[in-house]
Amino acid sequence: MASVVLIGTQWGDEGKGKVTDFLAEKADLVVRYQGGNNAGHTVVAKGEEFKLHLIPSGILYEDKTCVIGNGVVVDPKVLLEELAYLSERKVKTGKLLISSNAHVIMPYHRILDALEEDSRGEHKIGTTKRGIGPAYMDKTLRIGIRIMDLIDDEEFAGKLRRNLQDKNNLLIKVYGVEPLDYDTIYQEYSGYAQKIRSLVADSSLIIDESLKAGEKVLFEGAQGTLLDLDHGTYPYVTSSHPIAGGACIGAGVGPTRINRVVGVIKAYTTRVGEGPFPTELADETGELMRQNGHEFGTTTGRARRCGWFDAVIARYAVRVSGISDFALMKLDVLSGFEKIKICVGYRVNNEVIYEFPQSQKIFKACEPVYEVIEGWQEDITGVTHFEDLPKAAQDYVRRIEQLTETQVTLIAVGPGREQTIVRGEIF
């Protein structure tokens, strides 16, 4: 039995798609366990670029079973569009399964996400407006529509009618906008139900059977540690649990069945949306990182905020997820900088702290304490062995390992599958 949870270590966008794709080659089953189409995973396979939002990146290998777990919120329209996109690109999708317990993103979730966000004014969260938060709200309120309800005509009709009554009240009375029409949504979503019915499964059972048969299971997290609803930079977080523990709930698997946790971490830091970011560089160095690293959102196209590597965040992610290995991404983007900075602590209220603060008020006041190390000028995009990296790049990786007490097992030096330095086996 071997199971690996792969998570984002910072604020998302660390390059999880590439690592999932890399590890999926050895896996039998690839499972997504939280989030929805707020995620955007870019994978370059055989020289071609694929952009996925909902379907696990493992789909690019024909023989892998891919599972959308119960913890995911599924927009069926997006799911079908993604299936059509993959089929156009000649990717076979016959081994995709969806948990019957996953919740459905409805049109009113998307509309309310946008309306709520706009009404927050300067306190906006910067959501992707994909309906993620409102869908999880309905789940915790216990009024959500699950995939199993969607494919059961009677359940769906009843739940949609009851939900729509409440949501239309909100739309009309609170936001003063047009109500939604029951028949239109019913027709549209019944059509989706027909198309996805054959994919619906008890995914927890399938994962259990796979593990018992000695197969390899990869749990693919979306977003990142600091976007976790409980452990992230609340309220600037998403509404699900991207940390490793989220895999247990969002896939229906016990913690004793997880063997390893891979934290995907960028060689620098980026953040989309609002909220404090101590190592942010609002200058030409940050702009250089953005341009060299193509730091623009896969889902929304928004420019990502960029800054130096933050070891306080990395250590925190190791703590809350029990990370056993790091996959260090985009090391090549740092080529060409004369000096490179690593944030090793925060200066706040006349003292230096080394642990991630719980309060956002304190986090906002944190100034980075930097260690400055030599940069390297060489192009490293063709390097496949650690020993062939420039010495300064090797030192940078080793310093990250020291500061986080965690081994860097994979290093990405470019977007392609083959542009990966492997320093040990994960599966």
For residue 398, the minimal CB distance to ligand IMP (Å) is 28
Q: Of 13, 21, 113, 332, which is the active-site residue? A: 13
Pick 232 or 286: Cβ nearer ligand IMP: 232
- Contact between 218 and 212 under an 8 Å Cβ cutoff? The reply is no
Contacts with ligand IMP by CB under 6 A lie at: 11-13, 38-40, 125-128, 130, 132-133, 222-223, 227, 236, 238-239, 272-273
For residue 30, the minimal CB distance to ligand IMP (Å) is 17
Q: What token pair was written down for 332?
A: 């090549």
Cα 415 from chain centroid? Answer: 17
Tokens 């997504």 -> residue: 32
Pick 8 or 368: Cβ nearer ligand IMP: 8
Pick 11 or 308: Cβ nearer ligand IMP: 11
For residue 353, give the DSSP letter.
E
Question: Does residue 385 carry a catalytic annotation?
Answer: no
Pick 55 or 421: Cβ nearer ligand IMP: 55
Could you tell me whether strands 2-8 and 29-32 are parallel, antiparallel, or unpaired per DSSP bridges?
A: unpaired
Q: What token pair was written down for 114?
A: 């946008």
For residue 155, the minimal CB distance to ligand IMP (Å) is 27
Pick 239 or 406: Cβ nearer ligand IMP: 239
Neighbours of 87 (CB within 10 A): 11
Residue, CB closest to ligand IMP: 273
- Residue type for position 367: E
First-to-final CA distance of the chain: 10
For residue 37, the minimal CB distance to ligand IMP (Å) is 9
- Strands, DSSP E only, in 187-338? 200-201, 216-220, 260-266, 269-271, 305-307, 309-310, 325-329
One DSSP character per residue, 386-399 reads GGGS-HHHHHHHHH
User: 3-state DSSP call for residue 32?
Assistant: strand
Question: Does residue 13 carry a catalytic annotation?
Answer: yes
Cα radius of gyration rounded to whole Å, the chain: 22
Q: Of 21, 28, 41, 138, which is the active-site residue? A: 41
- Give the C-alpha separation, 251 to 246, whole Å: 8
Pick 156 or 363: Cβ nearer ligand IMP: 363
For residue 35, the minimal CB distance to ligand IMP (Å) is 7
- Strands, DSSP E only, in 82-147? 96-99, 103-104
- Give the C-alpha separation, 408 to 49, whole Å: 26
For residue 261, the minimal CB distance to ligand IMP (Å) is 19
For Cα atoms 206, 40, 220, give the angle at the middle one, nearest 5 degrees.
30
**Could you list the active site residues?**
13, 41
